[in-house]
Chains A and B, each alone.
Chain A
Amino acid sequence: MPDVQSTVVEFVNKLRKRKIEGSQATAKCTVELLRSVISHQRVPHANQAAALIDAVKAVGEQLVAANPVELAVGNVVRRVLHIIREEDLSLTTAAMGGLDLLDASDDDDVDNCKGIGYPAMSAAVVAAAARSTLRPPSLQTLLEGTPESATVPYTSSSGADSESKSKSADKSSLTRKLKHDVIEGVNQLIHEIAGCHEQIAEQAIEHIHQNEVILTLGSSRTVLEFMCAAKEKKRSFRVFVAEGAPRYQGHLLAKELVARGLQTTVITDSAVFAMISRVNMVIIGAHAVMANGGVIGPVGVNMAALAAQKHAVPFVVLAGSHKLCPLYPHNPEVLLNELRSPSELLDFGEFSDCLDFGAGSGSIQVVNPTFDYVPPNLVSLFITDTGGHNPSYMYRLIADYYSADDLVM
């Protein structure tokens, strides 16, 4: 446990000092940290799921507070909580099936394996049924459902074999089962985050066509992979890269694109409107996607989106599922932006004499925001690892990934 604690503190420090950049890297670190938290967490016999949830929440709160702007941290924490709840629920229903054969009135046993203490067994079953009906029948839940239903005979058979010993054996196996399943689920999440680029890039061929002109802004690994995937499929197209002042990450992207053999043109951010009439599609990577379908992206994105709307150019946003944030941008708890050091804009030495010497009134103020918000009505399409979606569909997708209980942490 002390090991976990120190890694948590270390990670919190990194987040505070803004040492980890990019939502994918942050998400990956977060989920790996949470996995170790879960695996080191001692689970009591009673309320195992609640214990796990508490542990994850406690760590999650620290992480979110360390860098509230990096929404991916909160997203991943909520995803993990959701996994715990889901696994718990499926185990409960499974145990329910087995327990029907056993002493039905044994409340003790039932309480052990339930996350939220239901007053009676029937109520639990009803609630579980209600939950599964509430949830849209997405592909993922259907796939997840099959192996869990397969576990039902195992527990029930062990319970049926020796009724007297079954309680203790059940408990320990259930304990291990829950933790094991949760870790399994978290591993899947890690895999998903790591593989989101490929998942998204696979769809490139359907969106980028021959001889098209694509405009992008700033630098995003997802966008890079997406374009390269299209290139590999022998699509020939041209890319305009807006440089993304003041950090000029567009320059890096342009270099990478050229290295992969794409026809690349670098333009200034202010030239976006002038060039947009020649562009067939705008593709950008998002920092986060809000529940209403709004996008938080690198500064300057809103301008590009407005230009695209003016010329009726499709504005496509690429986002891995870890970027889907279950919060709405009007929520005061959501910090949408971060102001970085003005030194990216101005040279301190050059302007030091007009910063504040002498009279305080006539000094320069420099604001350097990192992000921009694009309202949902400007976005034409989201491409996530599960396919293309409309902005208005986002809330549905989010309901798939998150439990409503975890929205407020």
Chain B
Amino acid sequence: MGAQKKGGGARVSEDAVEQSRQRLQAILLADSFATKFRPVTLERPKVLLPIVNVPMIDYTLAWLESAGIEEVFVFCCAHSMQVIEYLEKSEWYSHPNLLVRTIESHKSISAGDALRYMYEQQTETSQIQGDFVLVSGDTVSNMPLADLIKEHRERKKKDEKAIMTMVIKQSKSSPLTHQSRLGTDQLFIAVDPLTKQLLHYEEDKVDHPSGSVCLEKSLLDTNPSVLVCNDMQDCYIDICSPEVLSLFEDNFDYQHLRRHFVKGVLVDDIMGYKIFTHEIHSSYAGRIDNFRSYDTVSKDIIQRWTYPYVPDINFSGNRPLKLGRQGIYRASDVVQSRSADVGASTVIGYGTKIGNGDKISNSVIGNGCSIGSNVVIEGSYIWNNVTIEDGCEIRNAIVCDGVKIRAGAVLQPGVVLSFNVVVGRDFVVPAYSKVSLLQQPTTEDSDEELEYADSSSGTADHLSGLNLQMESKASELGPDGAGYIWEACEGAHDEEWKHSVAPIPKDKLFEITQAIDDDDTDDESVVPTSGELKSDADSINTDVNDPNDDYYYFEKEVEGTVLRAVEENIKVDLVTLEINGLRLSYNMESADCAGATFYSMIKLAVDTPHNSASELYKNAASIITKWKELLGFYVKKIDEQIEVIMKFEEMCQESPKELGPLFTQILHLLYDKDVLQEDAVLRWAEEKAGADEADKVYLKQCETFIQWLKEASEEEDEDDEDEEDD
């Protein structure tokens, strides 16, 4: 209670004290800014959803408190009233060691917005005084934070630019689905093994569906060693310095913590901010991001990985359950029939009645439920005050508060029943369907939408794909049922099984296995081995010998331009202008222009119908004569002229029958038309002199021409000398 006063009026006088010893603060985002938990989150905020019968936020707060955090700012967005009400009722507001404050903002639609709002508030009230822990309200963890914060502070002292420490944990992702246990996409990170600095961060699906990773070449230049891992799980627990808030303020387009912020910091080398990682080994950390991670984390809690935040310990005012054999947690007042078969890893809450012949395994059943006779419940999560009548079958489903399931109904794997839904007698709810009393929304106008409104383009599509179901759906769940079955939006339907509570069906696994086999063969043929190390930076790739895509397209464009110019008889100036534009947009040099222009001209000549070699020569001659100015514009230097000859030689090699015999003639023509100077031809001859015999074919062909040129130049020289003599 003393701590609470400190937060209030007495703050000013204690400023000096606090300067010397910074309070440990945390920002808890009580909103996931995602749509994964719909339709449940339409009625209740995600952080208040029970996981093993305790609201998620209690796990997070209990952990923060015991990790030594003294002040938590709970940032409420969607359903903020519910969150605040809950906190008021719970013991968190009167906690002696932990000062819980709530911040409300209805405008924020992403984590970025939330942090910007915090920053604005901060300038007024200076709430965040130093380094803080940034977590989301759906984190279940038992890791110690004090040492990590100390480590972060010390690093910050040494290096001003180290603004964030990210917590990661080893967790193998499935080789089949490229998914972690928590149903998130496979994560690739690159870390400097010595300093633990984060160098690269990439979520598989978002960035590269193919499964290859591109690293910046400069990473390898600046770091002696780089550790690339794909068996890490991002815990979404960050130790941040105050700079993080101002960074969000500066970059108003940052929305997502990882996709935008982390990547932005990694790419941006102007400010030079650095992010470091911290790997935890013995302690647990997991974030409930989707229904699959809800399932996984629940199991981890039951298996006690999260100790001491387990159901038989009263860690946050919850009533502790009693742990029996085989990991069965049972409240003391459970009424259970003798003939009921309660299997391993099951949790049964207070005041729940279990009827005759029930079979329950791997499930969590909340408080005040009544379960009839001969009910089968497997791998499901039944929340509070649920009524299940005789003979129902429930497999891998989530059933929210107040649901009634009438006799004989069947829930197939992956079903989610939102609050107070009634499933009719003998009705079979199809797999992966989501049922709610509320209709599927179509627009983003309501307040509740904030829970899942995400400004990224992906979600916009997601929302537009939802269609309003206008017809009355009272009979959708059987004659005496109540609720709407939500239609999965297109595209997301295939993903449904990925994020569902149900285990991945065998046929899907089989499909994926096959797809992977196909992928493997594809990869070998399509991606060259050098592709693994292909650099992102274009500037390095200037070598002409490279099979350069850019050059190919450039050549095509130039060819098109020249063709059009010839057909429409456009002025030379305009064509030059156009080619110059292309040159700039493709970042080419003028030698490339010369090569490409000449190439297109000869190509044009070849493409023009002709019967004999002499006819072809005539064509070529006419085109060259006509457009020599264009060519001449680019061949002012000797190098460029050599480029043209080389290009020509290349073309002749490609079509030796047609063009081959004409090589000398056209070369001579070019010389005559002053496109090429004799120096260029001679230099070319010199360069070629050392080449292989195969390359010398055309050199030999025009030997006489070169000889003649040489003699001519000697004569000229003599003339010059003569003149000098005079």
Of all chain A residues, the one with the shortest Cβ separation from B362 is: A360
- Give CA–CA (A66, B312) in the complex, Å: 11
Interface flag for A194 (CB, 8 Å): no
Interface flag for A342 (CB, 8 Å): yes
Is the Cβ of A341 less than 8 Å from the Cβ of B307?
yes
Is the Cβ of A365 less than 8 Å from the Cβ of B303?
yes
Is the Cβ of A343 less than 8 Å from the Cβ of B305?
yes
Instruction: Mark contacts of B120-152 with chain A using CB atoms, 8 A cut-off: 1 yes-contact digit, 0 otherwise.
Output: 000000000000000000000010000000000
Q: Which residues of chain B come closer than 8 Å to A9, judged between CB atoms?
A: 96
Is the Cβ of A17 less than 8 Å from the Cβ of B66?
yes
Is the Cβ of A17 less than 8 Å from the Cβ of B96?
no
Q: Which residues of chain A come closer than 8 Å to B379, judged between CB atoms?
A: 360
Stretch at the interface among A77-85, A146-154, A345-353, A401-409: A345-353
Of all chain A residues, the one with the shortest Cβ separation from B319 is: A65
Contact A358:B308 (CB < 8 A) given known A6-B2, A348-B284, A353-B174: no
Min CB distance, A212 to chain B, in Å?
A: 38
- Give CA–CA (A298, B515) in the complex, Å: 52
Interface residues of B in 520-557 (CB under 8 A from A): none
Of all chain B residues, the one with the shortest Cβ separation from A367 is: B327
- Give CA–CA (A359, B413) in the complex, Å: 12
Is the Cβ of A356 less than 8 Å from the Cβ of B299?
yes
- Give CA–CA (A327, B315) in the complex, Å: 25
Is the Cβ of B284 less than 8 Å from the Cβ of A353?
no
Interface flag for B225 (CB, 8 Å): no
Interface flag for B337 (CB, 8 Å): no
Is the Cβ of A16 less than 8 Å from the Cβ of B304?
no
Q: Which residues of chain A come closer than 8 Å to B344, judged between CB atoms?
A: 365
Interface flag for B504 (CB, 8 Å): yes
Is the Cβ of A343 less than 8 Å from the Cβ of B284?
yes
Is the Cβ of B284 less than 8 Å from the Cβ of A65?
no
Min CB distance, A5 to chain B, in Å?
A: 8
Interface flag for A160 (CB, 8 Å): no
Q: Which of B2, B174, B305, B323 contacts A357 (CB 8 A)?
A: B174
Is the Cβ of A18 less than 8 Å from the Cβ of B313?
yes
- Give CA–CA (A13, B316) in the complex, Å: 9
- Give CA–CA (A392, B67) in the complex, Å: 44
Of all chain A residues, the one with the shortest Cβ separation from B3 is: A6
Q: Which residues of chain B come closer than 8 Å to A368, judged between CB atoms?
A: 304
Instruction: Mark contacts of A1-23 with chain B using CB atoms, 8 A cut-off: 1 yes-contact digit, 0 otherwise.
Output: 01001100110010011110000
- Give CA–CA (A341, B310) in the complex, Å: 9
Instruction: Mark contacts of A59-81 with chain B using CB atoms, 8 A cut-off: 1 yes-contact digit, 0 otherwise.
Output: 00000011000000000000000
Is the Cβ of B305 less than 8 Å from the Cβ of A349?
no
Interface flag for A176 (CB, 8 Å): no
Is the Cβ of A352 less than 8 Å from the Cβ of B181?
yes
Min CB distance, A61 to chain B, in Å?
A: 13
Contact A348:B304 (CB < 8 A) given known A9-B96, A356-B181: no
- Give CA–CA (A363, B300) in the complex, Å: 11
Interface flag for B246 (CB, 8 Å): no
Q: Which residues of chain A come closer than 8 Å to B299, judged between CB atoms?
A: 355-356, 363
Interface flag for A144 (CB, 8 Å): no
Q: For the side of the interface on A, what is the size category?
A: 35 or more
- Give CA–CA (A13, B317) in the complex, Å: 10
Is the Cβ of A18 less than 8 Å from the Cβ of B308?
yes
Interface residues of B in 149-189 (CB under 8 A from A): 169-172, 174, 181
Is the Cβ of A349 less than 8 Å from the Cβ of B171?
yes
Is the Cβ of A341 less than 8 Å from the Cβ of B304?
yes
Q: Which residues of chain B come closer than 8 Å to A363, judged between CB atoms?
A: 299
- Give CA–CA (A349, B345) in the complex, Å: 21
Interface flag for B503 (CB, 8 Å): yes
Of all chain A residues, the one with the shortest Cβ separation from B327 is: A365
Contact A358:B509 (CB < 8 A) given known A341-B284, A349-B172, A352-B171: yes
Interface residues of A in 352-409 (CB under 8 A from B): 352-353, 355-360, 363, 365-368
- Give CA–CA (A217, B284) in the complex, Å: 28
Q: Which residues of chain A come closer than 8 Å to B305, judged between CB atoms?
A: 341-343, 348
Min CB distance, A22 to chain B, in Å?
A: 16
Q: Which of B171, B307, B315, B345 contacts A348 (CB 8 A)?
A: B171
- Give CA–CA (A145, B62) in the complex, Å: 48
Is the Cβ of B181 less than 8 Å from the Cβ of A65?
no
Q: Which residues of chain A come closer than 8 Å to B303, judged between CB atoms?
A: 342, 355, 365-366
- Give CA–CA (A135, B159) in the complex, Å: 71
Is the Cβ of A348 less than 8 Å from the Cβ of B169?
yes
Of all chain B residues, the one with the shortest Cβ separation from A10 is: B96
Q: Which residues of chain A come closer than 8 Å to B503, judged between CB atoms?
A: 358-360
- Give CA–CA (A146, B315) in the complex, Å: 46
Q: Which residues of chain A come closer than 8 Å to B300, judged between CB atoms?
A: 355
Instruction: Mark contacts of B289-310 with chain A using CB atoms, 8 A cut-off: 1 yes-contact digit, 0 otherwise.
Output: 0000001100110011111100
Min CB distance, A367 to chain B, in Å?
A: 8
Is the Cβ of B231 less than 8 Å from the Cβ of A339?
no
Interface flag for A163 (CB, 8 Å): no
Interface flag for B460 (CB, 8 Å): no
Interface flag for A340 (CB, 8 Å): yes
Of all chain B residues, the one with the shortest Cβ separation from A332 is: B322
Interface flag for A344 (CB, 8 Å): yes
Q: Which residues of chain B come closer than 8 Å to A358, judged between CB atoms?
A: 174, 503-504, 509
Is the Cβ of B282 less than 8 Å from the Cβ of A349?
no
Q: Which residues of chain B come closer than 8 Å to A13, judged between CB atoms?
A: 65-66, 96-97
Interface flag for B1 (CB, 8 Å): yes
Interface flag for B442 (CB, 8 Å): no
Q: Which residues of chain A come closer than 8 Å to B1, judged between CB atoms?
A: 2, 5-6
Chain B CB within 10 Å — which of A5, A16, A340 has the most?
Answer: A16
Min CB distance, B167 to chain A, in Å?
A: 13
Interface flag for B443 (CB, 8 Å): no
Of all chain A residues, the one with the shortest Cβ separation from B176 is: A358
Interface flag for B283 (CB, 8 Å): yes
Q: Which residues of chain B come closer than 8 Å to A347, judged between CB atoms?
A: 170, 281-282
Of all chain B residues, the one with the shortest Cβ separation from A9 is: B96
Is the Cβ of B315 less than 8 Å from the Cβ of A349?
no
Chain B CB within 10 Å — which of A13, A348, A366 has the most?
Answer: A348
Of all chain B residues, the one with the shortest Cβ separation from A337 is: B323
Chain A CB within 10 Å — which of B1, B2, B307 has the most?
Answer: B307
Of all chain B residues, the one with the shortest Cβ separation from A5 is: B1
Query: Known contacts A341-B142, A349-B171, A363-B299; can you find 16 more A-B pairs with CB under 8 A?
Result: A2-B1, A10-B96, A13-B97, A16-B314, A17-B66, A17-B308, A18-B308, A340-B304, A344-B282, A348-B170, A349-B231, A352-B181, A358-B174, A358-B503, A358-B504, A360-B379
7 of the cross-chain contacts (CB-CB < 8 Å) are A17-B62, A17-B315, A65-B320, A340-B307, A341-B306, A358-B174, A363-B299
Closest 6 CB pairs of A and B: A349-B170, A341-B307, A352-B171, A353-B172, A17-B66, A18-B308
